[in-house]
Amino acid sequence: MELISGNQIAADIIAELKQEVSALSGRPPCLALVRVGDDPASVSYVKKKEKTAAEIGVTSRIILPPESISQGELEALIDELNADPDVDGILVQSPLPGELDELAIFRRVLPTKDVDGFHTLNLGKIAQEDETGFASCTPAGIMEMLARSDVDLRGKHVVVVGRSLIVGKPVALLALQKKAGANATVTICHSATADLPALTRQADVLIAAIGRAHFVTKDMVKPGAVVIDVGINRMPDASRKSGYRLVGDVEFDGVAPLTAKITPVPGGVGPMTVAMLMKNTIKAHRLSSLSG
Ligand code: NDP
């Protein structure tokens, strides 16, 4: 079994991006990070994104509206960022609190600044294999991670558990694309799938994006499979200062010995997501400089 280190692969990408940014003339790429309210997980995700941006030389603009912000006010804020020529990318940290309509906010972001890849147009561009779009960061990170770990998906059976717009559907579309590194046969499973273990056991590459701790157990995995664990779940742990530890959707200790390659949690897909956000921001900056 080989452990796929997202930490290492993301560090390599970040070093490459840092070089790319240092070679740019003019103002550096700028990412606006909008975090509504003080959800602790969102606070730590935004901090991590800000820190990585600084490391690469990407300017970040942090905007922290209160939880009481209305839908209209948040949309007006997005409109301002859309119109600001000094902002290349806009990320609205998910989940949004309360009654705010997240999908409407994602759609409000100009597609050319939608570095999270959540806008309808960018999701459509993945389906059309149009490289001018932005693939959402976690799915793009998974593809990059597989490519850099010498896992060629061509002809392989990829089984994705989860059909969210953020992970499951876009990663399935990317694996399906008719291009080098992809070209897989893809099955997408969800909560209404009948006999899920029978399907996951057919996977050459199993991608778990469910959001349930230790959901995938060893009886669900084919020996020799590659397993990508997207899940980030908080498990109570009194021995930790935080009171919890992060675990994936895969029951790692039981499953890992069976696999050819597997990602850990933490240190797997998570760091790749942040690296791909930076990659998208630099791409947005490049495309906006080209369009003048
Ligand atoms: P969602 O809750 O949006 O989607 C979960 C999916 O899992 C749904 O499609 C749901 O099916 C499916 N599911 C739930 N229960 C079952 C079940 N018993 N059997 C089969 N399918 C089931 O989650 P996300 O896609 O946003 O996130 C998934 C996980 O990935 C979470 O742990 C999240 O924290 C993590 N994540 C990690 C990221 C990273 O950077 N590493 C980034 C984004 C997410 P149905 O559609 O039928 O409800």
* pLDDT at residue number 291: 79
| Beta strand segments in 25-122, E | 30-34, 59-63, 89-92
- For the entire predicted model, the pTM comes to 0.97
Nearest to 185 by CA among 164, 199, 166, 197: 199
* pLDDT beneath 70, residues of the chain: 292
Give the pLDDT confidence score for residue 290 in this predicted structure. 82
For the chain, report the end-to-end CA distance as a whole number of angstroms: 49
Q: Where are the domains of the chain?
A: 27-110, 137-270
Nearest CA residue ID for atom 24, ligand 1: 164
pLDDT at 136: 96
Closest CA to 8 of 277, 275, 280, 283: 275
Task: Establish whether domains 27-110 and 137-270 are of one fold.
Answer: yes
Distances (CA, A) of 262 to 24, 101, 172, 230, 251: 36, 35, 18, 11, 11
pLDDT at residue 261 in the model: 98
| Res 14: pLDDT | 98
The pLDDT value given to residue 292: 64
Work out which ligand 1 atom sits closest to the CA atom of 233: 32
Alpha carbon nearest to ligand 1 atom 35, residue: 231
| Cα 234 to ligand 1 centre (Å) | 14
What CATH architecture applies to the domain 137-270?
A: 3-Layer(aba) Sandwich (3.40)
User: Tell me, which fold does domain 27-110 have in CATH?
Assistant: Rossmann fold (3.40.50)
Ligand 1 pocket list (CB less than 6 A)? 138, 161-164, 166-168, 189-193, 196, 209-212, 230-233, 269-270, 273
